[in-house]
Amino acid sequence: MLYKLLNKNYLIYGSSIVFSRGLEYAVLLFAAYYMTKSDYGELEFYKKVIEVGSSIFAFGFPALIMSYTRSKASKVHFYLLSILFVGFLGIMATFFLAFTPWLLLVIPFIFYALFFTGGVTHSYLLVKEGSNYASIFKIAVSILFYAVVFCSIYFFEVKGKAFVYVNYVLIVPLIVFIAIELKKEQIILHQLKKYWRLFKGLLLSSFTLVVSNFTNLMFLYTDIFVIKLLSKNANVDIANYSFALNIAAMLLLIPMTLVQVDIEKLKANRAYVNVLNKKIVILTFAATLVLVLLFLALTKFILVDYRDVFYLFLIILAAKIVQAFSPLYGTMIVVEKKFKLNLYINLITLLLNIAISIPLYYVYGIYGVALASLMMLFTRLIVLKFSYTKLN
């Protein structure tokens, strides 16, 4: 039955996601095994700060490229303008952060925004060249990225900043890659000016996507930042929470794969939303059982120090099940160009999540933070589904 739910494009693109995430999880599991909980907690904290910060630098352009562009020319010119805008944000951030420890993160913010999974380049290749080409790019970047991270941890003892320094190593060769890609397109200056006028008109919409993307990521990582702020033993608590979160978050690979592969089909045929939603539901529940067994096996035989977070894992897993049903409706609201609606839903539920997480942390500790996420992710799902249904 599962075979009928999948086609060749799902399998190829999905395999690239599984491969890249597999490398990520392999490195993180190695780090959890090899490093002390304190160092591992620091590693996870910097990783999540970079992912959240890069969502601001990306400025909503990945979603804009995927949902707005139709012709080849619009895709190419919007991609170039997006790169230039990200570079501009990097220059501005350098001035503001010049005398702070956070200056070190500017290059990682730019790298993630441009080149990492879900970034500007990945979205551009997905809509211009198709999912197979985007898959090759994803796999190549992932191999290079996680190989450098692994070597940094194992050979150079970089510890908690491994996800920071890797970006400095890889940013130059990937800039060369996009320069070669764009040179082949033979961009004409007067056409670029024409698209710039259109691009400027969409910056407000992009800004709403920035906040929406920021809030989407914060739903993944608000828990970590609340723990960092409130816990007296933050790095250890982050290590425990992140370990459970990383395994549970594997569920999100399912909606990510199916929605991204079928984005053009969803644009053309709104009736396909229900079909795709059924696929997501079936595959999510099948994967849930696999993840429970995986967690039990890992903590019994390899990562025994994390055996006592099983009940925390179950709460987080329930939250990820709910979250897995949200990306389809959120994406369709963006496809309908209801950027402000998407923004309001994500922003309000995020603020409520933070407001609930803090008192629940004082009552139940990190379990309370997980319960707050479960409640607000369920609330967001209901609102997203109702809002999209109302639009149609």
Identity of the amino acid at 272: Y
- Alpha-carbon distance 67 to 80, whole Å? 17
- Alpha-carbon distance 341 to 114, whole Å? 26
- Alpha-carbon distance 107 to 33, whole Å? 28
> What angle, rounded to 10 degrees, do the helices at 327-335 and 203-230 form?
150
Lowest mean pLDDT among 46-50, 222-226, 258-262: 258-262
Q: What is the tens place of the pLDDT at every residue in 304-330?
A: 999 999 999 999 999 999 999 998 998
pLDDT over 60 at 2, yes or no: no
- Alpha-carbon distance 146 to 119, whole Å? 17
Burial class (CB in 10 A: 0-12, 13-18, 19+), 248: buried
Asked if residues 236 and 37 have their Cβ atoms less than 8 Å apart, the reply is: yes
Percent of the residues in the chain that have a pLDDT greater than 70, as a whole number? 94
Q: What is the tens place of the pLDDT at every residue in 190-230?
A: 777 777 777 777 777 667 767 777 777 777 788 999 999 99
